[in-house]
Amino acid sequence: MTVVEPLPASRRPAGQRPRSAARLHGVARDAVPGTDLLRWPLVGALLRWRWARVALQLPLLAIAVLMVAHGLLGPQLAPKNLATLLGWVHYRGLLVLVLLIAGNVFCMACPFMLPRNLLRRWVEPRWRWPRWLRGKWLAIALFVAVLFAYELFDLWGSPAWTAWLIVGYFAAALVVDGLFRGASFCKHVCPVGQFNFVASTVSPLEVRVRDTAVCQSCTTMDCIRGTREGGEAAGDAGGPLRVTQRGCELALFQPYKAGNMDCTFCLDCIHACPHDNVGLSARLPASELWEDPKRSGVGRFGSRPDLAALVLVFTFGALLNAFAMVSPVYALQEWLAGVLGKVTPALGAEAPVLAALFFAGLVVEPVVLLGLAAWATRAATGQRDRTLVELVTRYAYALVPLGFGVWLAHYSFHLFTGLWTFVPVLQDLLADAGLPLLGAPDWRLGGLTPAAVDPLETGFLLLGLTGTLLVAFRIARREHPQRPWGAFLPWAGLATVLFVAALWLLAQPMEMRGSFLGS
Amino acid sequence: MRRSPAAAVLATGLAAVLLGCTAGGCAQPAGSAADESAPVQVDTAFAPDPPAVGPVELAITVTDPSGRPVEDARVAVEGNMNHAGMVPVLGRAAGGDAGRYTVPLELTMGGDWYFLIAVTLPDGGTVEHRVDARVVPRP
């Protein structure tokens, strides 16, 4: 894996640094004219404002505090508590919809970063994130663990533990970024961040250089170094001078940055660039998935099996998460419980059954299906010099649109069918607090009927399938220019199988099951 | 490969920070059986049993500690799924011949539900009772 790391800090005065981006042949392309949100009225002014991110974070921090308080002190009934309601219905639904129509806005507005940034005003972290923990493997493990815990412990049904989960995120961000430099928590740890990074590869907006020619003549590279008092570079080497503007803490150097992977939309590079040369522009969604340049802070997708594994967990995890809510899962669980109960009676039924389902869904199924597709591609193209792992690593990214379509279908169902359910809960909360400002709770407030949401879900799946087929074909054309169709068809077959599986899931009687194996 | 002490601590402790929070979620939302100190006994039965998606009837029998039926009470039922985001179903009944109150409900989805039953007794006292049920698809 080749990663362009932030350059070491220099103590040279600004403007006298000998290195220039001119000799760096970056991969950034000029932004599409007219699509830069920073040049739009109002929105542009807001985003260019120095405190723009804080202004977005503060409301989410207030909501997070409210959720924690209500989760710990309010009624322990999931539909009547803001922790479970806002956390598992509204936040997740809005998250995927905003990723679809804009970009990684929720990382931009992440409230976990506020206390962390406050801490860093006084405490400068000492260590670099250890090399052996770089990459996405730790984050993948945590992502899977959160999915597993969600199912095993019925987190959607437990306001108190949903509140503790939120507190845990705040604490983890503080601890990790209190010890380690840069945005170590975001880049290497945060499961929500990894979800957003993968999903935002199909988003229409991207933080990108406006004019690459300007970068070629740039000598300060503040977009990644940042600045300290007196115009010094902030870098990552530390020093007694206070940072006045952070550069990219995720090691994404704008001239080399391509796409949204690992980008939190934090706006630091935008504020740091002395040439006002970084914008927030439109691009063709998912186009970054078929291109494979060497990306700053990321490297080549085709050389990142950890990223490919993250994409597979993202995609197959979407199916698994949806599968856990439909009727046939009961029969399968009970059958598995019967089998495993005889093998591991001491462990009980729940954890082993769920572990078996996760192993089948996140390991066996991807290995078999993608292995077959890669084998067929190699056979069809005659390229014996490429291993199956190499092919899987390259083509796995094509599954992102379909995986995102499944998440969209699932989470938007909950959001749209429960859109207004937070209103009576808020009314009830205020009434209990002696402030009946919103009147008596109207528990009839809901949202769309499930039948009305069905076409939307199917549409999201079709959109995902279309995107996956497009990306797979573009990858095939780039990787196998002699026989693109032969290379493409196995992946088209795989995408179709997954699409049909997702459609079948949607057609099943939905069951908002709450307790695993009826526990 | 050199490992910093903080990294070693972090590697083993990080998962615990996030997972420790989630793992504690094994506690179920507070269930509520009949309150032993309550002045009446509340028994319930669904028709069909198990309850299926669509119209069902929840028969609620209210008796006093000596087993005599309690009539002329008012019974309100609120059914919720234990997943947030669904509109509750509401039902009422009054009269109660032989202490039996039948509340019609329209269950909107299969899955795990809980039903909060509020009984207002003829003397104005109230009793609350909770029933959990798994609602199955209608055959």
Write the pLDDT tens digit of every residue in A261-290.
Answer: 999 999 999 999 999 999 999 999 999 999
The two three-digit tokens of residue A160, written as one number: 């108190």
Q: How many CA atoms lie within 13 A of A464 on its CB side?
A: 32
Per-residue model confidence as pLDDT tens digits over B39-83: 889 999 999 999 999 999 999 999 998 999 999 999 999 999 888
d(CA A488, CA B2): 43
Q: Are strands A205-209 and A278-282 parallel, antiparallel or unpaired?
A: antiparallel
Per-residue model confidence as pLDDT tens digits over A336-373: 777 766 655 555 567 888 898 899 999 999 999 999 99
Q: What is the pLDDT of residue A3?
A: 42
pLDDT over 80 at A53, yes or no: yes
pLDDT over 60 at B35, yes or no: no
Report residue B37's pLDDT band, with 50, 70 and 90 as the boundaries: low
DSSP codes of every residue in B33-53: ---TTSSSEEEEEEESSS-BS
Q: A385 exposed, middle or buried (CB, 10 Å; 0-12, 13-18, 19+)?
A: exposed
Q: What is the pLDDT of residue A27?
A: 55
Of B21, B30, B90, nearest to A164 by CB-CB distance is: B21
Asked if A259 and A301 touch (Cβ cutoff 8 Å), the reply is no
d(CA A487, CA B122): 77
Written as one letter, the residue type at A51 is: W
Which residues numbered 142-171 in A keep a CB inside 8 Å of some CB on B?
Answer: 142, 145-146, 149-150, 152-162, 164-165, 167-169, 171
Mean pLDDT (whole number) for A436-462: 90
d(CA A157, CA A251): 39
Highest mean pLDDT among A295-304, A427-436, A508-517: A295-304
What stretches of A81-201 show up as alpha helix (H) in DSSP? 82-85, 92-101, 105-108, 113-119, 137-152, 159-179, 184, 191-199
Mean pLDDT (whole number) for B88-98: 88
Q: How many CA atoms lie within 13 A of B27 on its CB side?
A: 14
Mean pLDDT (whole number) for A424-447: 89
Contacts of A76 in chain B (CB under 8 A): 29-30
Which residues numbered 187-216 in A keep a CB inside 8 Å of some CB on B?
Answer: 189, 191
A178 interface with B at CB cutoff 8 Å: no
Which position has the higher pLDDT, B32 or A173? A173
Report residue A510's pLDDT band, with 50, 70 and 90 as the boundaries: low
- Please tell me whether the interface predicted TM-score (ipTM) of this complex is above 0.90: no
Per-residue model confidence as pLDDT tens digits over A384-417: 889 999 999 999 999 999 999 999 999 999 999 9
Of A127, A141, A325, nearest to B7 by CB-CB distance is: A127
pLDDT over 60 at A518, yes or no: no
